[in-house]
Amino acid sequence: MSTNSKKEQLAINTLRTLTIDAVEKASSGHMGLPLGAASMAYTLWNRHLKINPEDPQWFNRDRFVLSAGHGSMLLYGLLHLSGFNVSKKDLQEFRSFNSKTPGHPEWEQTEGVEVTTGPLGQGISMAVGMALAEEKLADTINEEQNQLIDHYTYVLCGDGDLMEGVSHEAISFAGHLQLGKLIVLYDSNQSSLDAALEQSFSDNIQEKFEAVHWQHLLVEDGQNIEEIDKALCQAKETNQPTVIEVKTTIGYGLPKIAGTSDAHSDPVEEEDAKKAKENLGWEYDTPFTIPEEAYEAFSDLKSRGKRLKEKWEQDYSALKQNNPEKIQILEDFLQQKLPEDWSEIFNELSFKEGMLATRTASHKILNALSTHIPQLIGGAADVSSSTKATIDNSSAITASDFSGKNIYFGVREFGMTAIANGLALHHFLPFVSTYFIFSDYMKPAIRLAALMGLPVTHVFSHDSIAVGKDGPTHQPVEQLAAFRSMPNLQVTRPADGNETAAAWKLALEIE
């Protein structure tokens, strides 16, 4: 039974009614998730999330990833009530062309949106990359008396996210590295678009996550913010990544269809929208009404974010005085700034002596670059000995040691690429590698990187039918044409060492 205060419940229902009004006005959209998950989202943002709407790009903010991107109106409502640059007019333009409130969240189109999501499974996978970046930077920058890098990555995901194969790859990887600053809120509403979830999905979520070294917590009443708050507090007390399974009702409040797959998406028409508001105890008739008390409910978030940012700036100044070298490294990360003389590295490389495989040339170039560019980090999908995508003078990242720059992604091509996108969103310059034929597994994540303009370098080897002995399954035929047709993706196919060097230089120069 919910024990939420009147003001808290009003704020939660404001998020719900804004969704109802926006979907009805747009004549399209998804009510189901926002109506069911509003309480958990409110609890996270109001009581835990460390952000500063006055400075949305403050580096030590927590990251919130709406992996179930179809529930975007929930995020837009949160951003508006929290004081981000998302106006009521923007909410009224939901799903309109060129609006700040598109049907799925778009990075850099809407202030406060951390990542482009929509293709299910990729949001949670990119969040793994963000959490890895936080651990890596904390290892690089922090000192015993000054924990300058200290923030969480939160995810709100649904059943569909956890059905997608890429999420399995990323979840396994996160558990292996024990990314304890990663917390996933799982909207467990037992429904998918086509039918009740039992028709397609019967995984034991607890056993599934615990098998890959996650902590699993269960909240039985997804409308009770005290229970949700308790679980979030508990999630912060472990070094394991945590999934909080929150039992909810899809389309909470909708007449006739709440709790069914029919509540997933689409408008419900005026009479049912009115009845839904009555079921929620909503007392206002005018669409897009936002009571002043709803804004007041988010005042703690604003004051908390401002206070924590001021404290962080003090810690930043202290570290700058005591260890200016570390602050310079951090500033280079934040600006994704390369050393002034970085391109001179190529003048020192020579590929005149005889035949040299381009993957071997790439290895030589990568190692020369890594000495000068701390943001460069990455690895391969279990084929680094063949693609040569390794940094020789560095160790591999492990659960107990994040000081290295090599990442053993394992045989997780799709997950690897999505994780690299998360690293890039967190100011790294990641590279990933495998055989060109396996780019088929990676293409959806490469497409998202292209959409966001992320500086991720994909290094492919064995790129022609000349592979021969491995047979037709390992011989790329249509892959090159497919990537050359992808907007905003720079494709180079070097033929020798000098062209490989030019390709690397081009990759690092692209903004």
pLDDT digits (tens, 9 = 90+) for 4-42: 889 999 999 999 999 999 999 999 999 999 999 999 999
pLDDT of the residue at 3: 75
Using 50, 70 and 90 to split pLDDT, how confident is the model at 159? Answer: very high
CATH code 3.40.50.300 for 342-509: no
Confidence category of residue 473, pLDDT binned at 50, 70, 90:
very high
Beta bridge partners of 87: none
- pTM exceeding the 0.85 threshold for the entire prediction: yes
> Given a cut of 80, is residue 352 above it in pLDDT?
no
pLDDT for residue 129 is more than 80: yes
What is the structure's pLDDT at 2? 57
Write out the two tokens for 371.
């000495």
Are residues 457 and 431 in contact, defined by beta-carbon separation less than 8 angstroms?
A: yes
Question: Which top CATH class is 6-305?
Answer: alpha beta
Q: At what angle do helices 122-141 and 324-334 cross, to 10 degrees?
A: 160
Q: What is the pLDDT of residue 4?
A: 84
- Helix 165-177 to helix 122-141 angle (10° resolution) is 20
| Model confidence at 355: pLDDT above 80 | no
Average pLDDT, the chain: 95
Q: What is the pLDDT of residue 353?
A: 65
pLDDT value of residue 502: 93
Least confident segment among 5-19, 461-475, 481-495: 461-475
271 confidence band (pLDDT: 50, 70, 90): very high
Residues with Cβ < 8 Å from 305, sequence gap 6 or more? 50, 51, 52, 53, 54, 58, 61
* Coil/strand/helix, residue 148: coil
Tens digits of per-residue pLDDT, 41-81?
999 999 999 999 999 999 999 999 999 999 999 999 999 99
Q: For strand 182-188 and strand 242-247, is the pairing parallel, antiparallel, or unpaired?
A: parallel
The CA distances from residue 216 to 42, 63, 67, 419, in Å, are 21, 20, 18, 22
Residue 261's contacts (CB-CB under 8 Å, 6 or more residues apart) are 191, 192, 193, 194, 195, 196, 250
Q: What percent of the chain has pLDDT over 90?
A: 89
Amino acid at 248: T
Give the model confidence (pLDDT) of 359-373 as tens digits. 999 999 999 999 889
pLDDT at 1 over 70: no
Residues of the chain with CATH 3.40.50.970: 6-305, 342-509
The verdict on whether 478 is a catalytic residue reads no
pLDDT at 336: 82
For the cut 90, the answer to whether the pLDDT of residue 347 exceeds it is no
* For residue 314, pLDDT beyond 90: yes
Summarised one tens digit per residue, pLDDT across range 402-428 is: 999 999 999 999 999 999 999 999 999
| For residue 341, pLDDT beyond 90 | no
Q: Do the strands 215-219 and 242-247 form a parallel or antiparallel pair, or are they unpaired?
A: parallel
Catalytic site residue from 413, 478, 509, 511: 413
Cα distances (angstroms) measured from residue 95 to each of 19, 446, 451: 12, 25, 18
Contacts of 168 (CB under 8 A, 6+ apart): 415
The answer, yes or no, to whether residue 337 has pLDDT greater than 90, is: no
